[in-house]
Each structure stands twice: as C-alpha cells, then as structure tokens.
Amino acid sequence: MTDEQIVSDLAVILNEVAGVDQSKVSADKSFLDDLEVDSLSMVEVVMAAEDKFGVKIPDEEVKNLRTVGDAVAFIKKAS
Amino acid sequence: MSRRVVVTGLGALTPIGKNVSETWTNALAGKSGIIKISQPWAEGLAAQIAGLVTVDPFEVLDRVSARRMDRSTQLGVIAVKEAWVDAGSPDINKERLGVFFGTGIGGLTTVLEQYDILNSRGPDRVNPLTVPMIMPNSAAAMVGLEVGARAGVHSPVSACATSAEAIAGALEMIRNNRADIVVAGGTEACVNRLAIAAFASMRALSTKNNEPQIASRPYDIDRDGFVMGEGAGALILEEEEHALKRGVKIYGVVSGAGMSSDGYHIAAPEPEGAGASRAMVAALNDANAKATDVAHVNAHATSTPVGDIAEYKAMKSALGNALDNVVVTATKSMTGHLLGGAGAVESVFTIMGLKEGLIPPTLNLKNQDPEIKINVAKDEPYKLSANANFALNNSFGFGGHNVCIAFSKN
C-alpha cells in the first residue's frame, strides 16, 4: 500500500468520524491542531483505522501519532 | 410583582408531523400517527404498533453531530432548533439563557447498539462517545451546546411527566431571575424490541396489532393500554418584558405549574387521583386562577384502563362542578404516548389551542366509558368560546410523578 493510498483512506475515516474536509488531509497535518480532531474522536479514528488496515494501534502509540504522516508511518510498519 | 413568563417559540417533531405546523394541522384533522411495525425485530412482541417520526435525523442535522447523539437527543435537538428559530433566534447574553430538557428513558438505542458491539466485536470496539450519548442529561447537555446556554442546564427525569416537569422548572428559573430565556421540553425515542417487550410485560401497551390506527383510544370503553410513540417538543420560555423589548410574537403565558407525588406505587396511579388532583389545584393556585377559569384540559389520558379513570377522578376533585364547562382532549389518541416528550408536545397543543381557539379532537372515542363523565372534544376540532383564556396540561409518570402546567392567552 502506498503512502498516498493510506492518506486517502485516513481522509475518508476522518471525514466520517470527525467531519474533516478530506481535501485538507495530508501527511504534514496535525490531528489536533490542524484537523481539530479531539481526543474522543481520535479514539474513534484509531478504531476505524485498525479495522481498515488490519493493524493494532496500542494506546501508548496513539500519543506519538501527532500528524497524519506519523499515522501513515506506523500503519506501514505494523501491517 | 413576580416576573411573568411567556412562550415565544415552539418546536415539535411527532408521529403526526415534522414540525409544529404539520403536527397542528394533522391534530386538528384528527390524523393517527400509529402504524404497524413491519421490521423483523418486532416479531413475536405482544405489541407491534407504534408512532414513529418520519424525519431522518441524519438528513436534518449535521452528520458528524448526529452520529454523536442518541436518537432521543437527535429528535430533541431538531425540535429545539425549530423552537429557537421560531423565537427569532434570540440575541441574548448566554449567561441569562438556560435549558430545562429531559427524557424519560434516555439513550436506550445506543445502549443496545453498543452492547451488541461489545458482545460481537469486543470491549475495544465500544464507541468512546457511548457515555455522553446514554447519560440521562445527554439531551439537555446537547441542547445547551446547541444554543450556548450558560445560566444552567437541567434535566429532570420523571418518566412520562419529564417534559412537563421541565416546563415547570423553566418557569421557576425565569421567575427566580436566574435566566431571561429558558429552552424547555423533552424527548423520547425508544421504539425498540427491549422497550416494547418491557412495557408490554407490564401489560401497559395496547395489543390491537391489526388495527394500529384505532389502538390508542383514551376514554373509550374498549381501550386496552397505551401505544408507544417517539418524538420531542420544545418551548422557548421568556420573561415577558424581555420578549416585549425584542418585539417578537407571543403565543401565550405560562401562568403556573403544580407538582405532587402519589407516594403510592412504583407504576400504578393512585386510583382516586388524589396526587394528580393536588398537582392540578397547585397549578391553579400558582396561576391565581379558579376552577371556573378553566376552559380546556389537555389530559394525560394514555388510553390505559386504570389511568384514564384515575385522571378523571383527579379532574373532578380539582375542578368540581366547573368540570362540566371544561372541554377535555386526549391527543395521545393521535400521537401515541411520547413518554418523556409527551408533556412538551401536549403543552404545544394546549398553547396552540388557546391561541387559535380550537381544540384537537380525541380520536377513536366511539363509546365513552360511562365512569368518565367529561366533555371530550371528538370527531372535529372543538371551538372554544371567545372569552376562553385558561387551560391546563396534565402529565403523570411512572413513580407517581404528577405535573400540571397552566397556560393562559394573556
């Protein structure tokens, strides 16, 4: 799976869960500061991403996932 | 001189209409909102009929907001949005804006969905918003966020008296000068397999499954229980001077409220209606009114054999011979029983009735129970006399909660 595909799939999830405009989602964007995904929504995003990509994202990892790019890197490594 | 409280906005989402206008038109026309539940989940239930809202909340509300609300909250917020716009979307200091909004059952839809997810997919798939979606104050809190209320957000829970108690609370909140505007009302959405099985297990529901439109028949000799409905009602209560300064339309006055408790049984009403009568008398006293002032009562009248008689006895005890000059209606014959939403929706009917001088008919009243000696509006809208100025709305709840709200035209 390419980085672009993962970003695109995450954009769909972020839109569904938190109403984020898909066109604003890119690797450099911060979930909290740029995309305004609060901590409860982030839990939902993680759940949906785990289902979508077939990975497990432990709570202690979630706090390291500051940007979309961080999430892409983790998903690539874990899958 | 106590602060007078008027109604400046109304909202309703009911089995007979997507807003106040449609609900009112259909109420005057005597339309039933009760249908047979055809989905597979209703199979095997003793009661398979209900009054359902036809609006899809996901089409009306912002999609992301909607998915963070239980259905009961969704319906409540939709009714509040209507009422708020109807009141002119008041530009008010939010520290003078309050909310009194309740639900009888709460987020049961979400409880069931998440319990299924817990069992089928495991604890780590339970939605992180489950708690804020199922807590009993969820609808009030979401309404508070919707309007930005900062004077206080309150959520009475008193079963089917809930949203009448919310109006009583809102009235006090303005009288006590804690707020100038309070969004009041309530909501319910628990037409699901568990709630119907549970109410049916109490033998509270009508089982006229093959005749849904005639199942809810308050005061009729053939009544056999209530029909569950879903929906919400909302009223914008406002201090009179504040409303006059804003120059908005005024529907009528919330002139008093009375509350009592039976101290009798967890579900059955006190058979002589003593507690309900005390609530009605308290509402009259609070409004500085006499029994002879009462032109109309929107009764609780759920269509249960015992409840309708107990309420009749309460009316007789509270109003005496003046009851002979009162026209009563039972709008649950059309909407079904909206539980936590009932008091607010029926207050909307009561206010509209006074304002327009027309009382919606009670549906399905073919043979009036001879024990219930009251004048019931039926067949067509009842035209109030021109000097009719005062009406009561009764709401009672499991647990022995009795609430009566008094409204006047001016």
pLDDT in tens, B131-142: 999 999 999 999
At B393, list the tokens. Answer: 């709305």
Stretch A47-64: mean pLDDT, rounded?
95
What pLDDT, on the 0 to 100 scale, is given for residue A79? Answer: 85
Annotated catalytic residue within B154, B296, B300, B401: B300
Give the nearest chain A residue to B122 (CA atoms).
A47
Domains and CATH numbers, chain A: 3-78 (1.10.1200.10)
For A24-37, the pLDDT digits (tens) are 999 999 999 999 99
**pLDDT tens by residue, B225-273:** 999 999 999 999 999 999 999 999 999 999 999 999 999 999 999 999 9
Residues above pLDDT 90, as percent of chain B: 99
Contact across the interface for A19 and B129, Cβ inside 8 Å: no
Which pTM value belongs to this model?
Answer: 0.97
CATH H-level, domain B255-408: superfamily: Thiolase/Chalcone synthase (3.40.47.10)
Quick check: A44 and B128 CB within 8 A? yes
Secondary structure class of B360 (helix, strand, coil): coil
| CA distance from start to end of chain A | 9
Percent of chain A with pLDDT over 70: 100
Confidence of residue B1 (pLDDT cuts 50, 70, 90): low
Q: Residue B7 above 60 pLDDT?
A: yes
Report the pLDDT value the prediction gives residue B2, as an integer from 0 to 100.
85
Q: Assess whether B160 carries a catalytic annotation.
A: yes
Chain B residue at shortest CA distance from A39: B128
Judge whether B265 counts as a catalytic residue: no
pLDDT at B324: 98
SS3 B358: strand
Indicate if the pLDDT at residue B278 is higher than 80: yes
Average pLDDT, chain B: 98
CB contacts of B62 in chain A (<8 Å) are 19
Active-site annotation holds for B404:
no
Give the percent of chain B with pLDDT over 70.
100
Q: Of the CATH numbers 3.40.47.10, 3.40.630.10, 3.30.1490.20, 3.40.50.1370, which one belongs to the domain with range B5-246?
A: 3.40.47.10
At a CB cut-off of 8 Å and minimum separation 6, what does B9 contact? B83, B84, B85, B86, B87, B88, B234, B235, B236
User: What spatial distance separates the first Cα and last Cα of chain B, rounded to whole Å?
Assistant: 16
Query: Does residue B338 surpass a pLDDT of 90?
Result: yes
Tell me how far the alpha carbon of residue B192 is from its chain's centroid.
19
| Nearest Cα to Cα of residue B170 among B315, B374, B8 | B8
pLDDT in tens, B81-118: 999 999 999 999 999 999 999 999 999 999 999 999 99
Which residue spans of chain B are classified as CATH 3.40.47.10?
Answer: 5-246, 255-408
